[in-house]
Structure 1
Amino acid sequence: MTSPTVGETPSIRVLLADDHPVVRRGLAALLATLPGMEVVAQAGTGREALREIGINRPDVVIMDLRMPVLDGVEATRRISKEYPGTAVLVLTMFQEDTLVADALKAGARGYLLKSAEQDEIERAIRAVAAGGAIFSSAVAGPVLGRIAAGGNEPTLPALSPRERQVLDLIATGATNGAIAHRLGLSPKTVGNHISAIFLKLGVTSRAEAIVIAKDAGLGRRA
């Protein structure tokens, strides 16, 4: 990757993980037309994706879920644990609620269908690279519906151990900077965790997250 000049925004480094070469070539051709994006590696299995991430350290992995050797959900889970600075954007043919939920629990930052338009894919990549979370309209409704129907209690088990730690500190009133210092994380990583927490809890503000955390017994200090 060429170093950016002064004042220039670094490119978003993308890894494509899909077991269909034609899909990877199509995505690579698409991203080549978009400013500020660079495909740094491709992988045909989840295991290859993990290896390439270790070598190339992309900002975003565009991940298919049904892949040989190591499926996309398990690969996403390992990426979230081993490379928390890398965001996973699922791009798949499948929109079953269980797959969406599994991908979320594994740490995916976004979930799009392969029928998504070019501008939707571009927005999603930029959103997850910036620490946000995004879903296609085809899956957003079912995901939020499951959260609303389930109440508060079922949402917390969907959080990873690290996300629970972050939510616990949010509930004490800690700032992002204080959370980063306490957990030994970068501010960007903390922001990524908070975006994931908001998505999984179905909230849009820190205040709403604190209410749910308090109801679940988090944020208590002697």
Structure 2
Amino acid sequence: MSEVLNIVLTDDHILLLDGLTSILGRAGHRVVAAVSDLCALQAQTRMHRPDICVLDSRVADADAIAAIPGLLAGNPGTRVVVLTADASPHTLTRALEAGAAGYVHKTRGIAVLLDALSRVALGEVVVEASFNRPVRSGPAPADPRVVQLANYLTPRERECLRLLTSGFDTTAMAGSLGVSPTTVRTHVQAILIKLGVHSRLEAVSLATRHGLVRPLDEVAG
């Protein structure tokens, strides 16, 4: 069984809170609080110092993403997972830049959420893959400077970037590419240098915002 996680849930849909509390409990985790507004979230997080806070991008008409930096500053051991129906690339980027370690769509199955929680607890940044689909209404045009930087990526580095944006960790990337973890780390370091960023999180945010790679399911299709 995976590690037992202490979790604070925040959503303004009470039925969702009740359902998730029950499901996560049956999965072996401990929901220490389930609240519906930001004030309660902040208070419960200070009280319980949970392993993970799961929150929607908006709760009770408030911007929950804007509250993430404050939550993390007061609770450095807590990780934040955004569980939302908002498919906007802008919201995803804001969440990652605010410090969220996970981003999962509400329409996905509980197995996807449980996997994301376990991986986030291990220190990964997890973006559920359906968010990498292009927006039909027309995404904002990519920054030509960023596109130029991406042109310096080798085919293997571009494939590593695609796997990063799909939530793969070093071990999973090595298995997918048929190379060693050390080789993966070398490729990732080259990606960071060429894109002018300092972390995998920044690389994922940049690639998602500017559409630098195609989602894995589109490539497979």
What TM-score, normalized by structure 1, do the two folds share? 0.61
State which of 173, 189, 192 in structure 2 corresponds to 1:209.
Answer: 192
Q: Give the superposition deviation at 1:77.
A: 2.5
Between the aligned residues of both structures, percent identity stands at: 26
Conserved? CA contact 2:2–2:118, under 8 Å: no
Is 2:12 aligned against 1:19? yes
Residue by residue over 1:96-119, the C-alpha shift from the partner in whole angstroms, topping out at 9 and shown as x without a partner, is: 122112211211111111111111
1:31 aligns with 2:31: no
Q: 1:134 aligns with which of 126, 144, 148?
A: 126
Question: 1:94: which partner in 2?
Answer: 86
Conserved 8 A contact 1:46-1:67:
yes
Partner SS, residue 205 of structure 1: helix
Q: Which one-letter code corresponds to 2:189 in the other structure?
A: R
Amino acid across the alignment from 1:85: G
Contact 1:45-1:71 within 8 A present in 2 as well: no
Counterpart residue number, 1:79: 71
Count of matched residue pairs? 157
Q: 1:33 deviation in Å?
A: 1.6
Structure 1 residues 34 and 9: alpha-carbon distance in aligned structure 2, compared to 1, 3 A threshold: closer
Which residue does 1:44 correspond to in 2? 36
1:117 is matched with 109
> Take 1:207 and 1:110, find their aligned partners in 2: how far apart are those partners?
24
- Compute the displacement of 1:142 (Å): 4.7
Would you say the 8 A contact 1:112–1:136 is kept in 2? Answer: yes
Please tell me whether the aligned partners of residues 5 and 51 of structure 2 are also in contact (alpha carbons under 8 angstroms): yes
Q: Tell me, which stretches of 5 or more residues in structure 2 are unaligned? A: 148-185, 199-221
**Displacement, 1:80?**
2.7
- Asked whether the equivalents of residues 80 and 106 of structure 1 are also in contact (C-alpha less than 8 Å), the reply is no
Confirm whether residue 59 of structure 1 aligns to residue 51 of structure 2.
yes
- Over the residues paired in the alignment, what is the CA RMSD in angstroms? 3.1
Kindly report structure 1 stretches of 4+ aligned residues shifted beyond 4 Å.
151-154
Partners in 2 of 1:88 and 1:150 — Cα distance? 29
* Separation (CA, whole Å) in 1 of partners of 2:65 and 2:145: 24
Deviations 1:59-86 (A, max 9, x none): 1111111212742111223223322321
Moved more, 203-212 or 86-95: 203-212
Task: Give the TM-score taking structure 2 as reference length.
Answer: 0.62
Cα offsets for 1:6-61 (capped at 9, x unmatched): xx9752111101111111001111101213x1111111112211111100011111
- List runs of 5+ in structure 1 lacking aligned partners: 1-7, 155-202, 216-222
Distance 1:40 1:79 in 2: 16
